[in-house]
Amino acid sequence: MAKLINGQAISAEIKAEIALEVQELKQKGIIPGLAVVLVGSDPASQTYVNLKEKACAAAGIYSEKYALPSTTHQDELFDLVNRLNHKKEIHGILVQMPLPDGLDEESVIETIDPWKDVDAFHPSNVGRIMIGNYRFLPCTPAGIMEMLRREKIAVAGKNCVVVGRSNIVGKPMAMLLMHANGTVTVCHSKTKDLADVCRRADILVASVGRPKFITADMVKPGACVIDVGMDRDENGKLCGDVDFEPVSKVASAITPVPRGVGPMTIAMLLRNTLTAAKIQNAIPNRKKVC
């Protein structure tokens, strides 16, 4: 039976470390601040934004929430982001994606000051990740790397397979695994013989968005399986991209859904906000993001 990688517990540890660092900053008169912008009324986005606000409060990070109607015009969003770019108390800006139809996500992301881009979606930060010289890392892949590190699951020399090539998870995940000296294969909907490719993985990361897509026959015995998916099963119950019960009988380590990757993503957002506050106040950053 696979070891359960408890993202909830690991993230609690990280959040406690962040809270201490926030206290230290406060003694220097600096309060890290995050602005979260939510456009429209997508229930999942509302839930994520609420979780992020709560996590900020618990860590002592100041946060501001801007909830805008789905009828918001692109220019209004640009204006808000520009105001936040210049607002001194705000060190990090997060525009919750996806945006409602009619709003151009790419140009909104490009409007965010790269030094405040705590999601690390701005092309300048994406480029830095590519060359391995980053300010911030995208929260979900960074959370996974931190999880592996704290669980002492070595990446160097391992065959790593990432299923999914999204800009927010799959691509940066592949890059971070490669920077950590893994031998990385990225799969997508056009990949041939997906099960064969997955079976070669010592570390298998699934970010597909399809419930229970990774089945036990796709997993090498003893592999570490990381499930990014936040899906709903046939009964509407939250589940991941991995068929958890059968796969956990084959893998050596596995993340559950919920309480796996999700909480790590939020912990990394707090870490990025703290890093942003330090950078903007010319305070050396003791910890790297991962």
Compute the distance between CA of residue 131 and CA of residue 121 in angstroms, rounded to an integer.
15
Q: Is 46 in the site for ligand NAP (CB under 6 A)?
A: no
Q: Is 170 in the site for ligand NAP (CB under 6 A)?
A: yes
Percent helix, strand, coil in the chain (nearest 5)?
A: 45, 15, 40
Q: Is 280 a catalytic residue?
A: no
Find residue 66's DSSP bridge partners.
37
**Neighbour order of strands in the sheet with 62-68:** 62-68, 33-39, 92-95
**225-264: contacts with ligand NAP (CB under 6 A):** 228-231, 261-262
Binding segment for ligand NAP among 21-29, 100-108, 129-137, 158-166 (CB under 6 A)?
158-166
Consecutive H or E run containing 10: helix 7-27
Out of 63, 96, 111, 207, which residue is the one contacting ligand NAP (CB under 6 A)?
Answer: 207
Pick the catalytic residue from 96, 116, 231, 278: 96
Q: Is 212 a catalytic residue?
A: no
Q: Is 164 in the site for ligand NAP (CB under 6 A)?
A: yes
Q: Is 52 a catalytic residue?
A: yes
Shortest Cβ 189–ligand NAP spacing (Å): 3
Binding segment for ligand NAP among 80-88, 117-125, 166-174, 280-288 (CB under 6 A)?
166-174
Compute the distance between CA of residue 45 and CA of residue 57 in angstroms, rounded to an integer.
18
Q: Toward ligand NAP, which CB reaches closer, 223 or 242?
A: 242
Q: Toward ligand NAP, which CB reaches closer, 21 or 231?
A: 231
Pick the catalytic residue from 119, 227, 231, 241: 119
Q: Is 49 in the site for ligand NAP (CB under 6 A)?
A: no
Cβ of 249: how many Cβ atoms within 10 Å? 12
Q: What does the DSSP 8-state code read for residue 118?
A: T
Is the previous residue joined to 246 through a cis bond, with omega within 30 degrees of 0? no
Q: Is 2 in the site for ligand NAP (CB under 6 A)?
A: no
Write out the two tokens for 97.
């994606």
Q: What does the DSSP 8-state code read for residue 170?
A: H
Do 194 and 187 meet the contact criterion of CB atoms below 8 Å apart?
yes
Give the x-and-dash track for 127-146 against ligand NAP (CB under 6 A). Answer: -------------x------
Which among 217, 199, 207 is positioned nearest to 177, based on CA atoms?
A: 207
Shortest Cβ 281–ligand NAP spacing (Å): 28
Do 182 and 155 meet the contact criterion of CB atoms below 8 Å apart?
yes
Binding segment for ligand NAP among 14-22, 31-39, 65-73, 204-212 (CB under 6 A)?
204-212
List residues with catalytic annotation.
52, 96, 119
Binding region for ligand NAP (CB under 6 A): 140, 163-166, 168-170, 187-191, 194, 207-210, 228-231, 261-262, 265
